[in-house]
Amino acid sequence: MVCWGRLAADVWDGFFAAATLRDGEADDNALVLDARIRHWTDVVFPTIPLLPPEYPPEARQLRQNTIVLNSLDQLRLLLFRQAMLGLRCDLDFVAVCKDLANNIVSRTKAHSGDVNLPICFRFSMASSLSSAILVLATILLRNFQYLGADVEEAYREATNLLANLASGLALARRMRSDFSGVDNLIQEAAVSTELNFDHVLSADTRELFPYTSVDFTQQSGFSADADLGNAHANGSGSVSSLNTDLWSTVSAGKEGKYGVPWI
């Protein structure tokens, strides 16, 4: 985890620093840092396996492994977020981000039995799914048909999983609300006869997307009391559940375009 922390800090300092963003070096830095993350995933992570090779892993170990792999893929998606939300985007970026989003959805789906358990792993599930939904939605709205039906399937699975989480997790409810405008647009596009041959994401469409800013100092609309009227933040009414859902309590009160931790 020390190695992971150092990597995440280097990525943050090297890409998300305000000076870097002003200098217009974001795309070049993203490619360099993405290569470092891939190296860490392929070379470093296998040397510290979380899954025991000599006996079947426990549920706890499977969750830990998923958290690490999804966090790495989320970090890579965060590097390309502004490119994916641009008026036009590089097809290489689209292909990479599609694969990362699909991987996140596939891993998270394997834990679908955990959606109603009073465990903090649900926070990781929700945040990972939202990162994937953001990317998959941009691809669907650009009408990249040749990327295959797996994009539509992954988007549907991710939104269904988030909906299931929302029944007992305030953070997931907030995320569903944030994506409601985008989801409505995707449903309309699915039955539309107009095709977006230019693969352009219009300014009006981009305005519907949440989590578009990487400047977390601009968090807005925070209310520490938000969603506390439901007896407990996760809606379960359980004290033990409340203790595992503190991040959800805080994050669910923030609304707007600036996102929540790891989104």
**Inside any domain, residue 168:** yes
3-state helix, strand, coil in the chain (%, to 5): 65, 0, 35
Judged against a pLDDT cut of 70, whether residue 211 lies above it is answered with yes
Taking the C-alpha atoms of residue 11 and residue 241, their distance in angstroms, rounded to an integer, is 33
**Inside any domain, residue 190:** yes
**Inside any domain, residue 155:** yes
What pLDDT is stored for residue 51 in this prediction? 87
What pLDDT is stored for residue 70 in this prediction? 94
pLDDT tens for each residue of 6-41 = 887 887 777 766 545 555 556 677 888 899 899 988
pTM of the model: 0.80
Report the range of poorest mean pLDDT among 12-26, 69-83, 154-168, 170-184: 12-26
Over the chain, what is the mean pLDDT? Answer: 77
What pLDDT is stored for residue 203 in this prediction? 74
Which residues form the domain of 173? 61-251
pLDDT tens for each residue of 37-48 = 999 889 888 888
Total domains, the chain:
2
Out of 81-85, 93-97, 203-207, 234-238, give the one with best mean pLDDT: 93-97
Residue pair 238/118 in contact by the 8 Å Cβ criterion: yes
When pLDDT is averaged across residues 227-256 and rounded to a whole number, the result is 45
The CB-side HSE value for 136 (13 A sphere, CA atoms) comes to 28
Judged against a pLDDT cut of 50, whether residue 182 lies above it is answered with yes
Query: Do 43 and 142 fall into the same domain?
Result: no
**Inside any domain, residue 243:** yes
Residue ending a domain, choose from 27, 48, 69: 48
Task: Tell me how many helices (H) and strands (E) the chain has.
Answer: 13, 0
Under 8 Å CB-to-CB from 77, ≥6 apart: which residues? 97, 100, 101, 131, 132, 134, 135
**Inside any domain, residue 259:** no
Query: Do 148 and 215 fall into the same domain?
Result: yes
Residue pair 36/10 in contact by the 8 Å Cβ criterion: yes
**Inside any domain, residue 263:** no
Structure tokens at 14: 């090297």
Dihedral, CA of residue 50, residue 45, residue 9 and residue 119, to nearest 10 = -20
Of the two residues 73 and 11, the one the predictor is more confident about is 73
